[in-house]
Amino acid sequence: MSEDVKKYFYWSDPLERDLVPPKSWDVMVTGWDFNAYTGDVFQAWTTAGLDGTGSSRKGSASAGKRFLFSTAEKAREALRHEVCVIAAKKLRDVEKKKRF
């Protein structure tokens, strides 16, 4: 394994979402979120009953509310932790399979 790859191989701590959805449908909170499977960090918004991606309500929305991160950096750190968890689970499965 190259030194460039080794420097990224460390466990990171979980990070809690720090933006709470509003209680009113008339209020919109904007922040950041991530997708652990694509590795993307993106702007997102939420109300008391809808959420979506981007910085405004333009486009599609999903029913429900979403807790968000206040900065892209916090979302990136949380993404890194989630990717660590996914990788650790895959390594656990590899280890279990080698025991015949």
With respect to residue 83, please indicate whether it lies within any of the assigned structural domains.
yes
**14 in Cβ contact with 28 (< 8 Å):** no
**Confidence at residue 100, expressed as pLDDT on a 0 to 100 scale:** 61
With respect to residue 68, please indicate whether it lies within any of the assigned structural domains.
yes
Tens of pLDDT along the chain (100 residues) come to 788 888 888 899 999 999 999 999 899 999 999 999 999 999 999 999 999 999 888 777 899 899 999 999 999 999 999 999 999 999 999 988 876 6
**Confidence at residue 57, expressed as pLDDT on a 0 to 100 scale:** 80
- The amino acid that residue 55 corresponds to is S
Residue with tokens 């922040």: 31
pTM score of the predicted model: 0.86
With respect to residue 4, please indicate whether it lies within any of the assigned structural domains.
no
What phi, psi does 94 have (nearest 5°)?
-60, -45
Distance CA 50, CA 42 (A): 17
In the chain, how many domains are there? 1
Identify the domain containing residue 84 by its residue range.
15-97
With respect to residue 7, please indicate whether it lies within any of the assigned structural domains.
no
**Confidence at residue 7, expressed as pLDDT on a 0 to 100 scale:** 87
With respect to residue 40, please indicate whether it lies within any of the assigned structural domains.
yes
